[in-house]
Amino acid sequence: MGLVSGLRVIDECLSKGLVAGAFNTTNLETTMGIVRAVEATRVPTFVQVAPTNITLSGFEYIHDMVSRRLKDVDVPVALHLDHGRTLDDVKDSLAAGFTSVMLDGAEHPFDKNVALTQQARALTPTEYALEAELGSIGGKEDEIGPEFAATTDPNEVPAFVQAVGCDMLAVSVGNVHGYAPNARVDFDLLGKVKEASSVPLVIHGGSGLPVEQFGRFHEFNVVKVNIASDLRNAMIRSFGEAYVANPNEHSLIRVSTQAVAAIADVVERRIRHFNPRLGA
């Protein structure tokens, strides 16, 4: 099947009552682990990368690697730009073949966020998905944190969504990037945002949220939940454990293969957390 548009992942999830995981890749092992879990669960999924994580490779490398792995996978998977900060991020990822993009203008005042996201919409073919963010999600991702964190104001949602023409909206409702100890989604606020939004919602910072919250997201029109730290930690831990077990270990392929299994395990558990009816 190969890559599909982010819109197709959204539509299939909404029509089947599923919540898509959005898993950040950086390298071959992470990509292999994610796709193995997608094949096992058959839930439509986003594979994504942020501009901060292409410094080793580039959008083209990531696109070629992900699309090659997906060629014979018959589950819809989109390749998504996570936290595009500039219009060049959007342009460059689309030029490389990405099928879904995020423009994160949430650190800017409302009007500038609207203007920037509108420009991203103009660059993004309507058959591809655009994610926007309103309310700034706190915590650090890749050592970069926002200047401030602010929850999403439900009163601002209708005008924002209408003005920018996004297909999904990232919200700040108690979720925090990374492993924040006390992060939890405020379901009262999420409910108000849901009522105000004509498009489905996205929750960032999934790695740090209590597992028992995931099973309720589908009630709130959440279509995408981002997971990055869990996968990175699984890979680093896997290599660290191999070294500690044997400081003379030199079979890179064995250790890399173990890392793929560790990542696949984390991704599959997360997909099942988001979709409890699939079973454990």
Give the angle 219-100-2 at the CA atoms, nearest 5°. Answer: 100
Backbone angles phi, psi at 108, to 5 degrees: -85, 160
* Residue 204 vs 270, nearer CB to Zn ion: 204
Task: Give whichever of 104 and 268 is closer to Zn ion, judged by the CB atom.
Answer: 104
Site for Zn ion, residues 182 to 221, rule: CB under 5 A: 204
Q: How far is the CB of 50 from Zn ion (least distance, A)?
A: 8
Give the residue nearest to Zn ion (CB). Answer: 204
DSSP per position, 222-277: EEEEEE-HHHHHHHHHHHHHHHHH-TT---HHHHHHHHHHHHHHHHHHHHHHH-GG
In the bound state with Zn ion, the residue whose beta carbon lies nearer, of 223 and 255, is 223
Q: Cα 189–185–23 angle (5° rounding)? A: 125
Nearer to Zn ion, 42 or 85 (CB): 85
Region of 279 (left: φ > 0; alpha: ψ -120 to 50; beta: rest) is: left
Q: Which of residues 125-184 bind Zn ion (CB under 5 A)?
A: none
Q: Shortest distance, CB of residue 83 to Zn ion, whole angstroms?
A: 6
Q: Please say whether the beta carbons of 215 and 273 come within 8 A.
A: yes
Q: In this structure, what are the phi and psi dihedrals at residue 223, rounded to the nearest 5 degrees?
A: -110, -15
Query: What does the alpha-carbon distance between residue 128 and residue 253 come to, in Å, rounded to a whole number?
Result: 36
Closest distance of CB 142 from Zn ion, Å: 10
For Zn ion, give the closer residue by CB, 21 or 36. Answer: 21
80 binds Zn ion, rule: CB under 5 A? no
Please, what is the minimum distance in Å from the beta carbon of residue 172 to Zn ion? 10
Q: Which residues within the stretch 3-62 sit at the binding site for Zn ion (CB under 5 A)? A: none
Minimum CB separation of residue 209 from Zn ion in Å reads 13
The distance of closest approach from Cβ of residue 61 to Zn ion in the complex, given in angstroms and rounded to an integer, is 22
Residue matched to tokens 């660059």: 123
Would you say 2 or 178 has its CB closer to Zn ion? 178
Which residues make up the interface to Zn ion (CB under 5 A)? 204
